[in-house]
């Protein structure tokens, strides 16, 4: 059984026990929360109806808060002396899927 859930502005394919990273989610390590399911596949049965999915809950547990890789951004314009350097590092949360119920 697996589900497609909306997590951090993206869609992720998850099964019970999967650990993945999403954009920073409020909560301490060990806390549980639910993710909205968009599709559930249980063997041959595929559930994508909105009414049926309203009863499906995908529970997840916060494992840890991490940071993504450092990204260097450099803006440069030729022959004008304009240079600007900027960096970015995404704040992420590692999440473990603990259950898919109601499917």
Q: How many domains is the chain built from?
A: 1
Tell me if 79 is assigned to some domain: no
**Distance between CA atoms of residues 17 and 34, nearest Å:** 15
Task: State pLDDT tens for residues 21-66.
Answer: 999 999 999 999 999 999 988 888 888 888 888 889 999 999 999 9
Tell me if 61 is assigned to some domain: yes
- What is residue 103's DSSP assignment? -
Among candidate residues 99, 101, 96, the one with its CA nearest the CA of residue 31: 96
**Distance between CA atoms of residues 53 and 34, nearest Å:** 13
> What rounded mean pLDDT belongs to the chain?
93
**pTM for the full predicted model:** 0.81
Confidence band, pLDDT 50/70/90 cuts, at residue 91 = very high
pLDDT the model gives residue 103: 59
Tell me if 71 is assigned to some domain: no
**Average pLDDT of the segment spanning 75-97:** 96
* Domain span including residue 53: 2-65+92-101
**Distance between CA atoms of residues 21 and 14, nearest Å:** 12
Q: Please give the C-alpha separations between residue 42 and each of 3, 29, 31, 60, in angstroms, as whole numbers.
A: 9, 29, 27, 19
């Amino acid at each position: 059984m697996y589900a497609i859930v909306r997590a951090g502005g993206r869609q992720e394919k998850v099964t019970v026990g999967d650990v993945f990273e999403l954009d920073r989610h409020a909560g301490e390590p060990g806390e549980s929360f639910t993710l909205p399911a968009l599709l559930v596949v249980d063997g041959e049965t595929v559930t994508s109806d909105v009414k049926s999915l309203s009863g499906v809950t995908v529970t997840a547990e916060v494992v840890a808060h991490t940071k993504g890789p450092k990204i260097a951004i450099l803006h440069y314009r030729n022959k004008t002396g304009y240079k600007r350097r900027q960096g970015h590092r995404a704040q992420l949360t590692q999440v473990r899927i603990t259950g898919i119920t109601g499917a």
